Amino acid sequence: MSWEESTRQKMLHLKLPTDPRWVGIAEMQIEDILTDHAYCEQKAASSCISLIVRFNDLDELVDTLTPIVAEEWGHFERVMDQIRKRDMKFGMARKDEYVTQLNAFVRKGGSRMSQLTEHLLLNALIEARSCERFKLLSQNIQDDELQKFYYELMISEAGHYVTFIEMARKYQDPEIVNKRWQEWLDFEAEVLKKMEIRGDRMH
C-alpha cells in the first residue's frame, strides 16, 4: 500500500494527505511549530466560546462545547510547558492563511441553524486536519516526549472532530450536513493544494 493510500484511510476522510515533506521541515523548525500550535489551541478555545455566546439558547450545544473550551485551553497550557521547558521563545502570532481561506467558504446568510452548521463543519475540518498533522508529528519526530505529546493531542482532537460533526447532525437535517461536509472537504483539499509547504506552520 502506498504512503498516500495508507494515510488517506487513517485521516478522518480528508481528501488530500499532507505532503510527506512537511513533517521533516516542521521538525527542523519545532520552535516555530510549537508557537503556531499554541495559537491554534487558543483559537480553538475562542471559536467554541463564540459559538456558546451566539447560540446560548441551544442547551445541548452549550453543555457540549463548555468542557471543550477548557480542554483546548488545557492544550494551550501544555504547549506552553513544552516551549518553556525547552527554553524556546513563544513567538508572535502569524497570519493564519489556512483558517482565513476556510472562513471565506462559510456560506453567509440563510437560517440561524444553517449558520450553526457552517461553523460546526469549519471547526470539524480544522480538528480533522490538526489531528492528521499531530499524527504525522507523533510518528515521525525524534523527540520522545513530543511524540507522546502529539499522540495524546491527536486522540483528543479526533474526539472534538466527532463531536462537532455530531452536533451539526443534531441541529440540522443529517443529509444536508453530509452533503455540505463533502463540499467542505473538497474545498479544504483545494486550499491545501495551493498552499506553500512551510515548516513554521501547523497548517
| Residue closer to Fe ion, measured from CB, 43 or 180 | 43
41 and 76 Cβ atoms separated by less than 8 Å: yes
- At its nearest, how many Å lie between Fe ion and the CB of residue 167? 13
Q: Does 72 bind Fe ion (CB under 5 A)?
A: yes
Q: Which residue has the cell 452549550?
A: 62
Window of 2-10, 68-76, 81-89, 144-152 that interacts with Fe ion by CB under 5 A: 68-76
Distances from the Cα of 8 to the Cα of 3, 29, 118, angstroms: 8, 25, 24
* Binding test (CB under 5 A) with Fe ion, winner from 36, 45, 65, 75: 75
Q: Point out which span in 29-37, 43-51, 59-67, 195-203 binds Fe ion (CB under 5 A).
A: 43-51
Instruction: Please work out the total of residues on this chain that contact Fe ion, with binding judged by CB under 5 A.
Output: 7
- Cα dist from 126 to 1, 3, 84, whole Å: 27, 22, 26
* CA 154 – CA 65 distance, rounded (Å): 18
Closest CB 151 distance from Fe ion, rounded Å? 13
Residue 203 touching Fe ion (CB under 5 A): no
State how far Cα 41 lies from the chain centre.
9
Considering only CA atoms, which of 136, 73, 125, 65 is closest in space to residue 99?
A: 125
Interface region with Fe ion, contact rule CB under 5 A, candidates 11-19, 22-30, 117-125, 155-163: 155-163
Single residue of 37, 160, 201, 203 touching Fe ion by CB under 5 A? 160
Question: Considering the rule CB under 5 A, would residue 132 count as an interface residue with Fe ion?
Answer: no
Identify the residue among 36, 96, 157, 188 touching Fe ion (CB under 5 A). 157
Residue 127 DSSP one-character state: H
Q: Which residue, 6 or 50, has its beta carbon nearer to Fe ion?
A: 50
Q: Which of 99, 75, 91, 81 lies closest to 35, judged by CA?
A: 91
Identify the DSSP state of 88. Answer: -
Contact residues toward Fe ion (CB under 5 A) are 41, 44, 72, 75, 127, 157, 160
